[in-house]
């Protein structure tokens, strides 16, 4: 498989990538130090961010590192001005999960202190693993992490309710062999959202948001999209990432999640995930094997839902 960024759909241009890897502002570091009550001795850019710049902060007199997330993309802040507020709410809820998640330390929801919305949280141990040596064990532990998320007890209005992210265009990608199937999938995407067995979901569940150490999951990160929604959404989102670059693993992962969650995967979630990343699939097509697998998954879902 290719690098981790491409495997979970990061198709940003060079200018955006440079923005996401830019140093933190003095204003942001000062806010972090004040919020933490200690000096920031060192900072390091963390890779993998798509909507924001991420920094690991080493703190004076502390054995615990922090993570500073700065929402640096102006177009996203204009479209979704409540991103930091939503992430802070999701982190508070995720803290109840029986799996490690970052602890919220501070939030600047509208950028009053930092100049842009920002979040400060604890840093979890571990690293992202895309190319595991024991693939089936890796898939099984990815699947077994989801029940802890879906079991979180959540009160009314603590986080938002699932909705499909809109795309700039719903035209089938140029590489599609069966555009009529894609057009039917788009109709289903715009239809009713699956309304079964709603629970707390991560919504951006994929290997890039799971941390590992010595073969064990050490935490789940990147909670800004978390909401109440159908549990199959988390499975479908991970499936979409696997279908792009390792399609042979998608169905194995699905079977493992069905066992772990004790419920069948709903094909609607394939439509929601794949049509929900249609702009990216059109802009930067996956390898041939991924294109074939994605179209087959969409065709199968359309057939089952029609």
Exposed/middle/buried for residue 158 (C-beta within 10 Å: 0-12, 13-18, 19+): middle
Q: Kindly report, residue by residue over 113-167, the tens digit of the pLDDT.
A: 999 999 999 999 999 998 888 999 999 999 999 999 999 999 989 999 999 989 9
Is the full-model pTM beyond 0.95? no
Q: Kindly report, residue by residue over 179-195, the tens digit of the pLDDT.
A: 999 999 999 999 999 98
Q: Kindly report, residue by residue over 225-236, the tens digit of the pLDDT.
A: 999 999 999 999
What pLDDT, on the 0 to 100 scale, is given for residue 1?
Answer: 43
Give me the residue spans of the domains in the chain.
4-122, 127-305
Looking at per-residue pLDDT, the higher value among 291 and 8 belongs to 291
Q: List the beta bridge partners of residue 228.
A: 161, 200
Q: What is the mean pLDDT of the chain?
A: 93
What pLDDT, on the 0 to 100 scale, is given for residue 133?
Answer: 85
d(CA 244, CA 270): 13
Residue 10's nearest CA partner among 54, 47, 55, 56 is 47
Residue 12 has pLDDT above 80, yes or no: no
What pLDDT, on the 0 to 100 scale, is given for residue 196?
Answer: 78
Residues 6+ apart with CB under 8 A from 224: 51, 83, 86, 87, 90, 204
The tokens for 218 are 């050490």
Residue 18 has pLDDT above 90, yes or no: no
Residue 8 has pLDDT above 80, yes or no: no
pLDDT above 70: percentage of residues in the chain: 96
d(CA 97, CA 284): 35
Q: CATH code for 4-122?
A: 3.30.200.20
What pLDDT, on the 0 to 100 scale, is given for residue 98?
Answer: 97
What pLDDT, on the 0 to 100 scale, is given for residue 64?
Answer: 81
The CATH number for 127-305, chosen from 3.40.50.10860, 3.90.1200.10, 2.60.120.10, 3.40.50.10190, is: 3.90.1200.10
């Amino acid at each position: 498989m290719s690098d981790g960024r491409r495997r979970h759909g990061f198709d940003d241009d060079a200018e955006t990538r440079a923005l996401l890897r830019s140093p933190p502002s003095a204003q942001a570091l000062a806010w972090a130090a004040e919020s933490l009550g200690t000096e920031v001795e060192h900072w390091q850019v963390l890779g993998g961010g798509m909507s924001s710049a991420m920094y690991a902060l080493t703190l004076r007199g502390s054995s615990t590192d922090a993570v500073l997330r700065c929402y640096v993309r102006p177009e996203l802040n204009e479209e979704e001005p409540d991103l930091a507020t939503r992430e802070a709410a999701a982190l508070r809820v995720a803290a109840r999960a029986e799996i490690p998640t970052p602890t919220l330390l501070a939030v600047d929801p509208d950028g009053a202190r930092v100049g842009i919305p920002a979040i400060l949280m604890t840093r979890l141990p571990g690293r992202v693993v895309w190319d595991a040596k024991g693939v089936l064990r890796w898939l099984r532990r990815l699947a077994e992490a989801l029940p802890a998320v879906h079991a979180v007890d959540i009160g009314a209005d603590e986080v938002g309710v699932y909705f499909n992210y809109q795309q700039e265009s719903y035209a089938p990608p140029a590489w599609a062999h069966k555009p009529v199937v894609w057009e039917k999938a788009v109709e289903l995407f715009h239809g009713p959202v699956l309304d079964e067995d709603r629970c707390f979901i991560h919504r951006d569940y994929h290997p890039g948001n799971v941390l590992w150490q010595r073969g064990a999951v050490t935490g789940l990160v990147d909670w800004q999209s978390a909401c109440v929604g159908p549990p199959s959404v988390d499975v479908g989102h991970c499936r979409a990432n696997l279908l792009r670059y390792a399609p042979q693993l998608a169905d194995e992962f699905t079977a493992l999640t069905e066992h772990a969650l004790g419920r069948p995967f709903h094909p609607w979630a394939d439509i929601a995930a794949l049509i929900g990343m249609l702009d990216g699939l059109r802009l930067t097509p996956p390898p041939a094997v991924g294109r074939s697998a994605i179209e087959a998954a969409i065709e199968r879902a359309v057939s089952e839902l029609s």
